[in-house]
Structure 1
Amino acid sequence: MSDRHPLFMPLVLVGGLIFGFGLAYSHMARPEVVLNFLQFEDFGLLFVMFGGAAVTGLAFFTMPRLLDRAPLTGRGFERRLKSFDRNVLIGGAIFGVGWGLSGICPGAAYASLGIGNITILWALAGMFLGAYIQGYWRSRTTDTAPATTGAD
């Protein structure tokens, strides 16, 4: 049984709609715009990312000070710290190569599909396949590796 507020899922949908609309409106759902950013020819993506990070940072800073619990889930506000390790470095590098080759990141890929870029389905299929292969590989190496302690 879920203790989430009944408006949780509709508000997640609304948030996704706003996110997708914003990406499409700012032209960040177009791979050629992203590739121009990666080639240091168009810095619009930098401003879009800064705008999103500023709003999110402000919310993450103020909400725990204003409320003792998250309004839609009822859970307390907490941070999950992820250490910087080899997996973060290697995974980030692989993500960057995929981003550079496809010209699109995961969130923008879905928005790109929404603006009619059907060929982005190849990139989406590649993302799902890559994530599946990594999950399969990790489950195989975890099963055969000796038990270790530490944060994942």
Structure 2
Amino acid sequence: MYAFVTFLAGLLFGLGLAISEMTNPAVVIGFLDIFGDWNPSLIAVMGGAISVGMLGYWIKNKRFSPIMSKEWHVPNLKHIDRKLLIGAGLFGIGWGLSGYCPGPGLTALTNNPMEGIYFVGALIIGSAIHHFQNVLFRK
């Protein structure tokens, strides 16, 4: 049941990205082009995502335990550190340069395979570097 609900959540997320056209890098880059042909539609998408996230936290705070897990899986970092700033900066640079963030970037494999191959390849390489960095420099 957990896998089925996870699949449905991912499907709903993907449909939301497709309907809002966030799978199109031109829309994302249009949002970042504030001095050119600015496209503010990403604000509405972010507002919807934040609303769903707030609803999720509201439900979590009303329940004693989750329905399909033994414990809640929520971030517990309470401070801004160097790793968070570097990660956010790299994410933003990659998003701004490519117009893709990881979720919509995977759709590029079907929508725009040449760009998708490069983006997903870079995503995999970056993830591998992060993994091996953690393995090699574990404290």
- 8 A contact 1:21–1:111 mirrored in 2: no
1:78: how far off? 6.6
SS in 2 for 1:54: helix
1:107 CA displacement: 1.0
Which residue is 1:72 aligned to? 68
Partner amino acid for 1:61?
Answer: W
What one-letter code is carried by the residue in structure 1 that aligns with 2:118? W
After the TM superposition, list the runs of 4 or more consecutive aligned residues in structure 1 that deviate by more than 4 angstroms.
none
1:19 aligns with 2:16: no
Q: Distance in 2 between matches of 1:19 and 1:122?
A: 23
What's 1:150 paired with?
Answer: none
Q: Judging changes above 3 Å, is the alpha-carbon distance between structure 1 residues 59 and 138 closer, same or farther for their aligned structure 2 residues?
A: closer
State TM-score, norm by structure 1: 0.79
Question: Structure 1: any 5+ residue segments left out of the alignment?
Answer: 1-6, 148-152
Q: Measure, in 1, the Cα distance between the counterparts of 2:126 and 2:65.
A: 36
Q: How far apart in 1 are the matches of 2:53 and 2:18?
A: 19
Identity %: 30
Q: Which runs of 5+ in 2 are unaligned?
A: none
- Distance across 2 between alignment mates of 1:63 and 1:13: 20
Amino acid at match of 1:54: S
Normalised to the residue count of structure 2, the TM-score between the two structures is: 0.86
Give the helix-richer structure, 1 or 2. Answer: 2
1:130–1:109 Cα change, 3 Å: same
Give the aligned length: 134
- Aligned mates of 1:78, 1:42 — CA distance in 2: 35
CA distance in 1, matches of 2:104, 2:73: 28
What value does the CA root-mean-square deviation take over the aligned residues?
1.8
